Structure 1
Amino acid sequence: MSADEDKYPAESGRRRFVKGVVGGSALAAVGAAGSAGINSATASPGSGGGTTQAMAIENTAGPAPRGMPQIPIEIDDNGDLKGVWPEVEEIEQGGRTIEVARTQMGGMEYSSEWFQYCGVESYEGIVPSYDSDNYFVSGEEPAYDWQAEAVSGGEPLNISMFEDYEEWGNGIGQSGLGKPATGTWRSQDTDNVIPIQVVRSPIIEEIANGNTDAPQPIVDWVNASTDQGFIAWLNKCTHFCCVPGYKQEESSAKFNAENSVYCACHQSVYDPYSIVQTLFVARPRPD
């Protein structure tokens, strides 16, 4: 497809979703010996790390090497949004016992190692057994005017704040694709804040319900990892660890990113409506 070709025709009113799944073939390309070497090199002296497959919002342009990892989401009985944290267990690695947080979800293995990059591996909130209620809470300076008016810093994001998600717009790009919010996760009483971005979108609902041309493994994953159209991800650019934004920069239009997540630092672009499986080397958590 040429750079000038519109892969999301305006007349469709919705994006198309053709997803590539980086799975067994990619791991095979690494090779058994190479994979073992990578794991050995990254497992000590820290905990965890090594070759990791994560579900991510796709990187579609710019220097970022891969997408940003998705955070599975659930909504409690009060309508508050929570990030799902994997189950914690102890395993033997490199001749010692370490904690890991991982669980099976939607046909995939979801692991805390998804978030072990850009220094986040050193944050207290990424320690598997860190005690957190896992709610997504608004920061003190949210990126959107509507959010600053609706919720105070430190308060949880609630589904009631997103009722106009099918019409919402802020003058950047196309309205009605989804309503976003910024916040933090697993960061109470910590020195380091884990930034997250949430979007409630009818497009995510369509994928979760199978109304898409995405492969079935992607549909199964999105169905399990999203809730009522909400999708969330760790908002750390995989290039130089900047904090990107969805519909936050008017200048994003210069890079055809007005309907995407745009990193103004180095023009990396991510599509929050294209979920892919990505392979990378997670950094070990420091002891």
Structure 2
Amino acid sequence: MSEKFRSGFVAIIGRPNVGKSTLLNCILGEKLVITSDKPQTTRNRIQGIHNVEGGQIVFIDTPGIHKGRSRLNRYMVDEAGAALEGVDVVLFLVDATAKPVQQFELLQERLGRIDAPVILIVNKIDLISREQLILKLAEYGKLHNFREIVPLSAAKGEGVDRLDRLILPLLPEGPAYFPDDILTDAPERFVVAEIIREKVFRHTGDEIPYAVAVNVEEFDEGEEENGLIRISAVISVERETQKGIVIGKHGAMLKKVGTLARKEIEQLLGARVFLELFVRVRKDWTGNKNMMKELGYE
């Protein structure tokens, strides 16, 4: 008798910059969520659909849990917390190069309230020695009763293939939640906006990324079979000085961001794209409830 099909939801949580989005992209085998070395790159919950033999695992990538300062910070922490509701498994991701107690302290209270099994993922093991890893694994084992502790390197893909075998038996029996030919339930507009935001993150200074939001205002696929997809997007910043940096001298930075984003969007959509970008100042939008809502952070 063949085994029954299993399906369920798995939340990936952890502090900022521990590699949650990199891990999800590695599991899926495709780039779904944006990554950068800047804190709080991920702002919204994003679902990645992973089909395996005998089941479907829906991973939920979440913003890094940190001490919220601004309204936007608190929004991101709330998004991460909400992702834990009703999930079947939790992957708690930590950075192997950091001190275990520091990685654990902000999440200890949340972990204590979770009914679902928690698997500890110790990421970035390629950056420490084997002796250091053994000591840290022992220390984590004393901090919480984890279902499993899995050391891996998401950036290099080492140890990631083990996760499917650990997670699937923990999911309930039931049908797939999504068709097997889609990678995410996120709208194309959202993914396109994220790609543009990533290029701004990667190619501007440390001050700019936190103040940036991107909205796709036009997405026109046209009527001709081989026609261009026309996309118009607005990059919002908080100050005039930031606008100047994003645009760059003689528009060089905006052109670079647009070119890199267009190439990736064309790969995503499988079509030629005409991408038009604008930069708009929305003064102190990260602390304004109404402007945050307009920019997609509700």
Q: TM-score, normalised by structure 2?
A: 0.23
More helix by share: 2
Q: Which structure would you say has the larger Rg?
A: 2
More strand by share: 1
Larger RCO, structures 1/2 (Cα 8 Å, 6+ apart):
1
